[in-house]
Amino acid sequence: MNAGIIGTGHYVPEKVLTNLDMEKIVDTNDEWIRTRTGIEERRIAEDDMDTSDMAYLAAVEALKDANISAEELDMILVATVTPDTPFPSVSCMLQDKLGATRAAAMDLSAACSGFVYGVITAKQFIETNTYKNILVVGVEKLSKITDWTDRNTCVLFGDGAGAAVIGPVSEGKGILSFELGADGSGGKHLLQNEDYISMNGREVFKFAVRQMPESSVNVVEKAGFNKEDVDYLIPHQANIRIMEAAREKLGISQDKMACSVKRYGNTSAASIPIALSEEVKNGKIKTDDLVVLVGFGGGLTWGAIALRWGI
């Protein structure tokens, strides 16, 4: 039984924080942010909206797109590093909000790679015929762990949620190959230090510009294809220069790469599913397209998927 994505959804908060707004908060400027990151603005959740609230809104959209009810879910996996509380998990909160009474629920912590980790976890349950419908959500309220006095990090992050329903698909469709990895020795370069995100930007950049392109090519080759066969790339939306490195390694044109980083910034685990949901809904990703999802994150972690779109 092949596992694939049968529905997508996303949610971003209404509040927009532009680079010009950032100039009023810390010693930075619009040109510096844009040239180094590609970010022009980001979305920030209101104080009364938490991680589980955003996850719910994205999940409802994904379930509708998949044409299934919450009662038909067998499992809910939520990838996040910013849960409402240490416990209960966001996935359990989401199960209750959705009324998905049959679903098992657990959270995953792999930072920005979390959604890819979640999709591959779901794949195992489906392809072993254990479960049929699994909801995977990547969601973050990074604004609550952002140090708004640190100009090196506060300009990068935003809030949001993306969701996908993983289920059985026809032969030749769905997840064709994947790669998951970690390097715990690099954890010190990107971490939550006490209350806030702390990052050694130089070391993370060096890691990412090597790993994202390498993993992208690896999953394409594992699936038995050539780089020229890739129709669309959905990279983690962290930094335009890192994203461009992956795109150039695959040799695909700019119009075949999702680029929402300029509008939303880095939304960590929500980044890939938000971009995926947007590109599906605007018609950029079509049935039978060979799509690559690739990300990296704190841990350090990385993950990539090659899939044939369609059910």
User: Residue 112 catalytic?
Assistant: yes
Tokens of 142: 């990074």
Q: Which of 112, 189, 239, 259 is catalytic?
A: 112
d(CA 133, CA 76): 9
What radius of gyration do the chain's Cα atoms show? 18
Q: Which of 19, 133, 239, 266 is catalytic?
A: 266
In the chain, at which residue ranges do the beta strands (DSSP E only) sit? 2-11, 16-18, 41-43, 75-79, 104-108, 134-141, 159-169, 174-182, 190-193, 196-199, 232-235, 290-297, 301-308
Partners of residue 159 on adjacent β-strands: 141
Count CB-CB contacts under 10 A for residue 179.
19
Q: Which of 92, 133, 236, 239 is catalytic?
A: 236
d(CA 13, CA 158): 9
Whether the CB-CB separation of 309 and 288 falls below 8 Å is answered with yes
Tokens of 96: 């209750």
d(CA 198, CA 178): 29
User: Residue 266 catalytic?
Assistant: yes
The identity of residue 250, as a single letter, is L
User: Residue 236 catalytic?
Assistant: yes
User: By C-alpha distance, which of 111, 166, 120, 167 is closest to 139?
Assistant: 111
Residue holding tokens 């980044």?
A: 271
**Residues annotated as catalytic (active site), given as ranges:** 112, 236, 266
